Amino acid sequence: MDALSSQASLAGYAAVVLAASRLPRILPMMTTPAGTLSPASVLVIGTGVAGLQAIATAVRMGAQVTAYDVRATAKEQAESLGARFARIPRVADTETEQGYASTQSERQTANQQSVLARLCEKADIVIATAQIFGGQAPVLVKRDVFSRMRPGSVLVDLAIATGGNIEGTRDGMDCSVDGVTVIADSHIVSRLAHAASSMLASNMVSLLTHIADGSGTLKTDEPDEIMEAALVTHAGNLRDTAALKLLQMEAATP
């Protein structure tokens, strides 16, 4: 039923394929009579669903992959896919009970930016996917890093829908900045329209089958976590807790 995960998985794949097509070198190591070409270096920032798929895709294409996440639990996941995990020292493990990364302090964010800048300088491709559930994406790559990266490098900001991880990016951006190709596309999954539509349709069928019976009637007499989260109003009552809190706040405002 999780449409966010299905689409994020495709986004991670699409980001690597797009970046590889724009990079002026190949991803895998290649040994030829003319010499050996070293593998490209890929940095994936954020190892949620999109990040993990980006790692898996880049590894399959033969790149050397480094992954970064503030969650300590992400290390095993990234390494199991063949990436090297870059844990930034002096940054506290920040993970919510639901398994998402949580907001960090300004000092922690500044420390991340400093270390990630050095990692970006060594990378041919940077895929940024870090997001805060229900909040603004953290800016982790500052604009001044571009000029210190390898000429022809590619940056893809997959967090642009919630503000972006790369300073100065805007939705729909695809241009060269200081010799680096910068891409930010909140609709990157539309490049894989057939797969995206198929997966979303499957998500919707699973959800509707769960919350409704064969006649299409909602199973409101069988409440569970999914039904409770989906219901906004029922039988004249407001059921959504977020909407209820907003109304209570409005009522309390003089």
CATH number at residue 44: 3.40.50.720
- 8 token code pair: 């994020």
Give the structural domain span for 138. Answer: 3-191
pLDDT the model gives residue 71: 85
Whether 104 and 164 map to the same domain: the answer is yes
Give the pLDDT confidence score for residue 97 in this predicted structure: 54
pLDDT tens, the chain, 254 aa long: 999 999 999 999 999 999 999 999 999 999 999 999 999 999 999 999 999 999 999 999 999 999 999 888 899 999 999 999 997 665 555 555 555 555 566 777 888 899 899 999 999 999 999 998 878 999 999 999 999 999 999 999 999 999 999 999 999 999 999 999 999 999 999 999 999 999 999 999 999 999 888 888 888 777 788 888 888 888 888 888 888 888 888 888 77
Cα–Cα distance for residue pair 210/1, rounded to 1 Å: 9
* Count of residues making up the chain: 254
HSE-CB of 114 using CA atoms within 13 angstroms = 10
**157 and 82, same domain (yes or no):** yes
Single residue among 162, 191, 220 that ends a domain in this structure = 191
Burial class (CB in 10 A: 0-12, 13-18, 19+), 33: exposed
This prediction has a pTM of 0.85
**Same structural domain, 90 and 197:** no
179 plus 228 within the same structural domain? no
- Number of domains observed in the structure of the chain: 2
- Of 169, 191, 213, the one marking the end of a domain is 191
Look at residue 251 in the predicted model and tell me its pLDDT: 81
Same domain, 209 and 227: yes
101 and 197 fall within a common domain: no
Nearest-angstrom CA–CA distance, 225 and 79 = 33
CB 140 within 8 A of CB 167: no
pLDDT tens digits for 97-125?
A: 555 555 566 777 888 899 899 999 999 99
